[in-house]
Structure 1
Amino acid sequence: MVHELEVWLFADHVGTLSLQEGRLSFHYRENWLNRPGAVALSCSLPLQSDAFDDIHTRPFFAGLLPEGHLRRLIAQQFQVSGQNDFALLDHIGGECAGAITFLPPGASPSPSGDDHVQWLNDDELIAILDELPRRPMMAGKDGLRLSLAGVQDKLPVVFDGQRIGLPQGGQPSTHILKPLIHGVEDSVTNEGFCLALACAMKLQAAQAQIRTIVDRRFLLVARYDRQTGTQGRVARLHQEDFCQALGVVPEMKYQNEGGPDLAACFSLLRHVTRPSAPQVLHLLDYVVFNALIGNHDAHAKNFSLLYTAKFPVLAPLYDTLSTAVYQTLTPKMAMKIGSKYKFSEVQAHHWDQFAESAGLGRAQTRKRILELAQSLPKTARQLQSQKELEFAGNPLVEQIITLIEQRAALTIRRLTEPQGDA
């Protein structure tokens, strides 16, 4: 028996996702292929009339789903197999990353509007925060069909500047609500500070704010794949992460598991963006910034392409926090710099190896690394001192800045002293 879901991009039915004998396939509709200006869902799913088999289909579609224990809990909620991507997309694939929506055959997306938002009072929001660890994405509650990739508890919400609500029907979310990560001390402040620091460094980064309801702290991150237009209407922008674009399944996102390395990420940008030089330089900044703040979890699913015009651009920096300040988390970076996974072992010639593999000039790369290493500690201290942001006096922020100062000093020393190449 063949099971089918219709795949919609914005308000267009572009293709069909099928499941037969446990294997996925996807094919574009002829009407879509023949339409002037038709676009592909993914770099890994180019426009063609032939169907894509399971090997080519799964990386993009599985990449829309939560991972790890979140995926298992959602599967239990709906009494389906945790390995069944199709069933999970059927249950929660109404509001996904980018502009993708999954609907049963014959159904059409609902129009968006304020009446499709369930606005929450403080008590209701607290109840959701408490329930989220047991019911990821609030799966199955009140007909919600929400999905985001990753292993961290999070929830797509609508935020109008004052109220927070749950998107229903065809309503796009505007923000991602991220509560504290269990077992990771004050992750909300950590990520909030690191994203604010990226913005202070003039890097393109997701806008985030730390909020508190009674004693519950959470991060509210503005979605870069959503745009508010006239009359407050929220529109989806399409996007895909680098694993999806490269045809890599989510469970292989780490380089040491066979996932993409930095060379593959830079190569992807060069192949799909026009002009590519500015995008490549933005990615270089992201790599150096993540290394200096100690974000060891910067794997290929934490970089994305954003489709805003004829050619995609590198999406703003997101999911960035200093994991290196936690002794219980791995000291290994998700992707090597040169031949090294550990930042403490990265010498000047490893940065040169990285530059060469990424197609960058050594001298230009060293210059940019030094610029960031020299300015980052000062900018971090300035950000810490802004009283309205409540970072001053926070012990975790102090630890992050101390780590940044140490890493920046080490990097400057290794890139400027002759013995740094030894």
Structure 2
Amino acid sequence: MLLAVHEGTVAARIERRGERLTLRYEPTWRERGPFPLSLSLPLAAATHEGAAVHAYLANLLPDNAQVLESWGKRFHVSARSPFRLLTHVGQDCAGAFAFLPPDALDAHREQPGDVHWIDEAEVADRLRALRTDIGRWRRDDDEGQFSLAGAQAKIALFGRNGRWGVPSGRTPTTHILKPPIPGFEGHVENEHFCLELAHALGLRTARSEVRRFGDEVAIVIERFDRADSSKLPEAATTTRGAVLRLHQEDLCQALGVPPERKYQNDGGPSVAQITELLRARSSDAASDVERFRDALLFHWLIAGTDAHAKNYSLLHAAEGRLRLAPLYDVASALPYPDLDAQRLKLAMKMGNTYRLRDIGRAALTRMASEMKLDPGATLARAQELADSLPTAARTLREQLVASGVDTPLLRAMENELSARAARCAKLIA
């Protein structure tokens, strides 16, 4: 059995019989719980079985077979069993729930949590270890384990006042650290540049920075599913100074889609399906649909080819409130000459095509209609973003260089993104 635990309270029990999974919400959670584990596992039903439960759990894990195989060997369980893997790494996942075996519940409740502080040399060692074992997200002697979705190698740490530590018990991680991706030079700077560029253009994004730890470099991303209680209104919490877990789920989870179908071309969610979900469930549907549209336009402008459904999330709050989460995992394919620009495709269709070179006025007009948005307003927004991007990119590069982040890739990104924005502006003029 696996328990889904929220701030020490058991919300649901998950059982495995053979290959079949059953999730049962606790009666008290159904009556008074602020939110379900997922929109695909609503509180209206006491019990959920089969594919939806499996998809929800699988999407909590890395979508990287090497990492899963590494964890399977380390914990002596099947790499293809999300249930068994989460028994070992479910203590700190995306969202507000911990996933624990029953015999770990008392310790979880009784131990408020602690942080083992480490110096920057040890942070560097942990980042370096990922090069030899992509699944080495934690050391064997670490008390706490964690799981995060995504294909990239990463570690997660607790950060406060410039210090870094490994949390345990009920204390969650607050930051994600991702080292460079082999074969994609400057990807750390690429992702940070794109996130900051989106922010400069008015999109809500996860906040990030490029940090050096000894001879290692990483993008450090502040988790938006965590909140410092001291910064919340007094009425929001009675635990001042603690880090709170906010509940989130990615759009594959919300739609009951397994991670192997995250791309639309593999049977995953489309723009129309996601828009329909936002219109039906968001607490501010009009705003969130426009934010989703802006994200799609931004990915089109920067050639962000990996914006699949797992790279969009929803944030849950009390009383069923739900909003589209900030953008994350954003990067451009343009700086890499080995990628044929004429063949680049997006993760979701815009209009009737995936291929970047085929997306222009007609495709954006069709996309707007599918989203039930005014096509003229969508084209105007695309034009505004395209016109604003070159100046924003130049200003951002200058700011990064002034802060000590200076690589040849930044100049290449400014040039490539500005040139593409100009081409896109002509296509929709």
Whether TM-score is above 0.5 comes out as: yes
Match of 1:218, SS state, is strand
Show CA shifts across 1:169-203 (max 9, x none). Answer: 22111111111112211111111111111222221
Show CA shifts across 1:297-342 (max 9, x none). Answer: 0000000001134311110110111123224457221111112212
Give the aligned partner of residue 398 of structure 1. 411
> How many angstroms apart in 1 are the aligned matches of 2:269 and 2:45?
28
Conserved? CA contact 1:64–1:96, under 8 Å: yes
> How many angstroms apart in 1 are the aligned matches of 2:301 and 2:405?
19
TM-score (ref. length: structure 2):
0.91
Match of 2:283, SS state, is coil
Q: Does 1:46 align with 2:55?
A: no
Give the aligned partner of residue 178 of structure 2. 178
Match of 2:402 among 388, 413, 419: 388
Flag the 1:355–1:297 CA change in 2: closer, same or farther, 3 A: same
> How many angstroms apart in 2 are the aligned matches of 1:376 and 1:340?
24
> How many angstroms apart in 2 are the aligned matches of 1:15 and 1:51?
9
Match of 2:23, SS state, is strand
Match of 1:239 among 219, 238, 248: 248
Flag the 1:408–1:308 CA change in 2: closer, same or farther, 3 A: same
> How many angstroms apart in 2 are the aligned matches of 1:82 and 1:381?
45
Matches within 5 A, 1:148-227: 148-227=148-227
> How many angstroms apart in 2 are the aligned matches of 1:194 and 1:398?
13
Matches within 5 A, 1:223-302: 223-230=223-230, 231-302=240-311
TM-aligned CA deviation for residue 384 of structure 1: 1.0
Give the aligned partner of residue 17 of structure 1. 14
Match of 1:315 among 325, 328, 331: 325
Give the aligned partner of residue 67 of structure 1. 63
Consecutive unaligned residues of structure 1, counting only runs of 5 or more, are 417-422
TM-aligned CA deviation for residue 82 of structure 1: 1.2
Which deviates more from structure 2 when the two are superposed, residues 42-51 or residues 265-274? 42-51
Match of 1:6 among 3, 6, 23: 3
Match of 1:232, SS state, is coil
> How many angstroms apart in 1 are the aligned matches of 2:278 and 2:292?
9
Match of 2:206, SS state, is coil
Show CA shifts across 1:225-245 (max 9, x none). Answer: 000013431000000001100
> How many angstroms apart in 1 are the aligned matches of 2:60 and 2:284?
28
TM-aligned CA deviation for residue 65 of structure 1: 0.6
Matches within 5 A, 1:316-331: 316-329=326-339, 331=344
TM-aligned CA deviation for residue 274 of structure 1: 2.1
Matches within 5 A, 1:411-422: 411-416=424-429
TM-aligned CA deviation for residue 140 of structure 1: 4.3
> How many angstroms apart in 2 are the aligned matches of 1:164 and 1:357?
45
> How many angstroms apart in 1 are the aligned matches of 2:85 and 2:95?
17
> How many angstroms apart in 1 are the aligned matches of 2:111 and 2:290?
37
Give the aligned partner of residue 96 of structure 2. 99
Q: Does 1:88 align with 2:85?
A: yes
Conserved? CA contact 2:180–2:218, under 8 Å: yes
Match of 1:334 among 315, 333, 347: 347
TM-aligned CA deviation for residue 391 of structure 1: 4.7
Give the aligned partner of residue 348 of structure 1. 361
> How many angstroms apart in 2 are the aligned matches of 1:244 and 1:324?
30
Show CA shifts across 1:350-381 (max 9, x none). Answer: 11111111121110100110010100111111
Which deviates more from structure 2 when the two are superposed, residues 99-108 or residues 337-346? 99-108
Give the aligned partner of residue 419 of structure 1. none
Consecutive unaligned residues of structure 2, counting only runs of 5 or more, are 231-239
Flag the 1:269–1:131 CA change in 2: closer, same or farther, 3 A: same
AA at the equivalent of 1:119: W
RMSD value, Cα:
1.8
Flag the 1:176–1:111 CA change in 2: closer, same or farther, 3 A: farther
TM-aligned CA deviation for residue 155 of structure 1: 1.5
AA at the equivalent of 1:64: L
Flag the 1:246–1:412 CA change in 2: closer, same or farther, 3 A: same
TM-aligned CA deviation for residue 388 of structure 1: 2.8
TM-score (ref. length: structure 1):
0.93
